[in-house]
Amino acid sequence: MQSSLSISVSPHTSLTVQRSNRNALEPLAFAPPSKPLNLRFCGLTREALGFSSLRRNSDSFRFRLSSSARVRRADKFFVSASLSDNGSPPKTFDYDLLIVGAGVGGHGAALHAVEKGLKTAIVEGDVVGGTCVNRGCVPSKALLAVSGRMRELQNDHHLRALGLQVSAAGYDRQGVADHANNLASKIRNNLTNSMKALGVDILTGFGTILGPQKVKVGSDKVVTAKDIIIATGSVPFVPKGIEVDGKTVITSDHALKLESVPDWIAIVGSGYIGLEFSDVYTALGSEVTFIEALDQLMPGFDPEIGKLAQRVLINPRKIDYHTGVFATKITPAKDGKPVTIELIDAKTKEPKDTLEVDAALIATGRAPFTHGLGLENINVATQRGFVPVDERMRVMDSNGNLVPHLYCIGDANGKMMLAHAASAQGISVVEQVTGRDHVLNHLSIPAACFTHPEISMVGLTEPQAREKAEKEGFEISIAKTSFKANTKALAENEGEGLAKLIYRPDNGEILGVHIFGLHAADLIHEASNAIALGTRIQDIKLAVHAHPTLSEVLDELFKSAKVKAHVSGPVSEPIAV
Amino acid sequence: MAHLLNTSFIPSSSTLRRVSPSLQFPGHQRSRVPARIDAKIREIFMPALSSTMTEGKIVSWVRSEGDKLSKGESVVVVESDKADMDVETFYDGYLAAIMVEEGGVAPVGSAIALLAESEAEIAEAKSKAASNSSSSSSSSSSAATAVAEPEKVSENPVPTAAVKVAPVVSMPVASTHPASEGGKRIVASPYAKKLAKELKVELGRVVGSGPMGRIVAKDVEAAAATADVASVGPVSAEVGKSAAAAIELGSVVPFTTMQAAVSRNMVESLSVPTFRVGYTITTDALDSLYKKIKSKGVTMTALLAKATALALVQHPVVNSSCRDGKSFTYNSSINIAVAVAIDGGLITPVLQDADKVDIYSLSRKWKELVDKARAKQLQPHEYNSGTFTLSNLGMFGVDRFDAILPPGTGAIMAVGASQPTVVASKDGRIGMKNQMQVNVTADHRVIYGADLASFLQTLAKIIEDPKDLTF
User: Tens digit of pLDDT for each residue in A429-444?
Assistant: 999 999 999 999 999 9
Q: How confident is the model at residue A183 (pLDDT cuts 50, 70, 90)?
A: very high
Question: Residue A199 — left, alpha, or beta (φ > 0 → left; ψ -120 to 50 → alpha)?
Answer: left
Q: pLDDT digit of tens for each residue in chain B (471 aa)? A: 434 433 334 333 333 333 344 434 444 444 444 444 445 778 888 887 766 677 788 878 888 888 888 887 788 888 766 567 778 777 888 888 888 887 788 888 888 888 888 877 777 777 777 765 544 443 333 333 333 333 333 334 444 333 333 333 334 444 445 455 555 678 889 999 888 888 888 887 787 888 878 888 888 887 777 665 544 434 333 344 444 445 667 777 777 665 676 777 788 888 889 999 999 999 999 999 998 888 888 888 899 999 999 999 999 999 998 887 788 889 889 999 998 887 656 778 899 999 988 898 999 999 888 888 877 777 777 887 889 999 988 888 899 999 999 888 899 999 999 999 998 888 888 989 999 999 999 999 999 999 999 999 999 999 999 888 886
**Mean pLDDT, residues A302-315:** 91
Q: What's the start-to-end Cα distance of chain B, in Å? A: 24
Phi and psi, residue B93, nearest 5°: 155, -170
Q: What is the β-pairing status of strands B388-392 and B411-415?
A: parallel
Residues 71-130 of chain B with CB under 8 A from chain A are 81-83
The residue type at B326 = K
A304 — contact with chain B (CB < 8 Å)?
Answer: no
**Which CATH superfamily does the domain covering A95-236+367-434 fall into?**
FAD/NAD(P)-binding domain (3.50.50.60)
Looking at A162-202, list the stretches that DSSP marks H as alpha helix, in order from N- to C-terminal side: 173-198
Comparison of pLDDT for A63 and A410, the residue scoring more: A410
Strand pairing partners for B274? B443
B133 touches chain A (CB under 8 A): no
- The span from the CA of A61 to the CA of B333, in Å, is 86
Q: B211 — contact with chain A (CB < 8 Å)?
A: yes
Cross-chain residue pair B212–A356, CB shorter than 8 Å = yes
Contacts of B212 in chain A (CB under 8 A): 338, 356
Contacts of A330 in chain B (CB under 8 A): none
Q: For helices B300-314 and B284-293, give the axis angle rounded to 10 degrees.
A: 130
pLDDT at position A65 = 39
Q: Which of A489, A424, A435 is nearest to A458 (CA)?
A: A424
Q: Which fold has domain A442-560?
A: Enolase-like; domain 1 (3.30.390)
The alpha carbon of residue B189 is apart from the nearest alpha carbon of chain A, in Å, by 7
- Consecutive H or E run containing A406: strand A402-408
Alpha helices in A295-391 (DSSP H): 303-309
Per the CB < 8 Å rule, is B190 touching A289?
A: yes
Higher model confidence: residue A240 or residue A39? Answer: A240
Q: Is A315 on the interface with B (CB under 8 A)?
A: yes
Where would I find the H helices in A269-382? 272-283, 303-309
Element (H, E) at A494: none
Output the CA–CA distances (angstroms, integers) from residue A75 to A18, A65, A223, A511, in the order listed: 11, 10, 15, 57
Give A316's contacts in chain B (Cβ within 8 Å): 52, 81
pLDDT digit string, tens, across residues A206-218: 999 998 899 999 9
Q: Mean pLDDT: which of A16-25, A504-513, B184-193 is highest?
A: A504-513
The DSSP bridge partners found for residue A223 are A215
Alpha-carbon gap, residue B90 to B73, rounded angstroms? 8
**Pick from A287, A316, A356: CB nearest B179:** A356
Quick check: A264 and B190 CB within 8 A? yes
Question: In chain B, whose CA is at the least distance from the CA of A353?
Answer: B185
Q: Is A289 touching B (CB cutoff 8 A)?
A: yes
Q: A279, exposed or middle or buried, with CB in 10 Å at 0-12, 13-18, 19+?
A: buried
Peptide bond into A548 cis (omega under 30): yes
Write out the DSSP string of B272-314. Answer: S-EEEEEEEEE-HHHHHHHHHHGGGT--HHHHHHHHHHHHHHH
Reply yes or no on whether the pLDDT at A570 is more than 70.
Answer: no
Angle at B397 between CA B395 and CA B401, to 5 degrees: 95
Judged by a CB distance cut-off of 8 A, whether residue B364 touches chain A is no
Q: Does pLDDT of A288 surpass 90?
A: yes
Between A43 and A486, the more confident residue is A486
Q: Across the beta sheet with A339-345, what order do the strands follow?
A: A325-331, A339-345, A351-357
Catalytic sites of A, residue numbers: 547
C-alpha closest to that of B105 among B61, B50, B58: B58
Instruction: Tell me, yes or no, if A288 comes closer than 8 A to chain B by beta carbon.
Output: yes
To test the contact with chain A by mutation, choose from B53, B187, B216, B220 the residue with the greatest count of A C-beta atoms within 10 A, namely B187
CA distance B389 to chain A (A): 27
Distance spanning both ends of chain A, measured CA to CA:
39
- State how far the alpha carbon of A422 is from the alpha carbons of A117, A158, A331, A502, B466, in Å: 21, 39, 34, 26, 73
* B178 interface with A at CB cutoff 8 Å: yes
Determine the residue type at B186.
I
E-strand ranges in B189-303 read 274-282
pLDDT at A29 over 50: no
Ranges A290-294, A551-555, B220-224: which has the least confidence: B220-224
Contact B3, B395 (CB under 8 A): yes
Mapping DSSP to helix (H, G, I), strand (E, B) and coil, where does residue A399 land?
Answer: coil
Whether the predicted pLDDT of A464 surpasses 50: yes
CATH no. of A249-364 = 3.50.50.60
- Sorting pLDDT into bands at 50, 70 and 90, what band is A508? very high
* CA–CA separation, A136 and A133 (whole Å): 6
Among the partner-chain residues A263, A315, A318, the one whose CB lies closest to the CB of B211 is A263
Rounded to the nearest angstrom, the minimum Cα separation between A276 and chain B is 18
Residue with the bigger pLDDT between B183 and A80: it is B183
Q: Mean pLDDT for chain A?
A: 84
Q: Among candidates B100, B143, B109, B108, which has minimal Cα distance to B253?
A: B143
Q: Which residues pair with A327 in a beta bridge?
A: A343
Q: Which residues contact B366 (CB under 8 A, 6 or more apart)?
A: B299, B301, B302, B305, B338, B349, B351
Q: Which of A157, A287, A315 sits opposite B189 (nearest CB)?
A: A287
Residue type at A234 in one-letter notation: S
Contact B214 A354 (CB under 8 A): no
Touching check for B200 and chain A: CB below 8 Å?
Answer: no
Mutation for A interface: B52, B77, B214, most A CBs within 10 A: B214
Question: Which amino acid is located at A214 in the chain?
Answer: K
φ, ψ of residue A201 in degrees (nearest 5): -80, 130
Instruction: With a cut of 50, say whether residue A54 has pLDDT above it.
Output: no
Tell me the nearest-neighbour CA distance from B42 into chain A, angstroms: 32
Kindly state whether A475 is in contact with chain B, defined as any CB-CB distance less than 8 angstroms: no
pLDDT of residue B206: 80
Domains of chain B: 3-135 (2.40.50.100), 170-229 (4.10.320.10), 257-470 (3.30.559.10)
The reply to whether A479 touches chain B by the CB within 8 Å rule is no
Give the total residue count for chain B.
471
The per-residue pLDDT for B345 is 67
Contact present, B334 and B386 (Cβ < 8 Å): no
Chain B, nearest residue to A262 by Cα: B211
Partners of B198 on chain A (C-beta within 8 Å) are: none
Structure letter (DSSP) for residue A171? -
Q: Does A306 touch chain B (CB under 8 A)?
A: no
Contact call for A311 and B82, based on CB within 8 A: yes
CA nearest to A418, candidates A448, A443, A389, A444: A448
SS3 B363: helix
Boundaries of CATH 3.50.50.60 in chain A?
95-236+367-434, 249-364
The answer to whether A341 faces chain B, any CB pair under 8 Å, is no
Q: Residue A275 CA to chain centroid, in angstroms?
A: 17
How many CB pairs lie under 8 A apart between chains A and B? Answer: 49
For residues A446 and A527, the answer to whether their CB atoms sit within 8 Å is yes
pLDDT at A576: 58
Give A123's strand partners: A100, A203
CB contact under 8 A, A157 and B375: yes
Please, what is the Cα angle at A172 between A170 and A173, to 5 degrees?
Answer: 120
CB contact under 8 A, A263 and B190: no
| Residue A5, pLDDT score | 39
HEC profile for B92-110? CEEEEEECCCCCCEEECCC
Worst-scoring range by mean pLDDT, A127-136, A349-358, B12-21?
Answer: B12-21
| A498: chain B residues, CB-CB within 8 Å | none
CA distances from residue B390 to A28, A354, B13, B344, B454 in whole angstroms, order as listed: 96, 49, 18, 20, 18
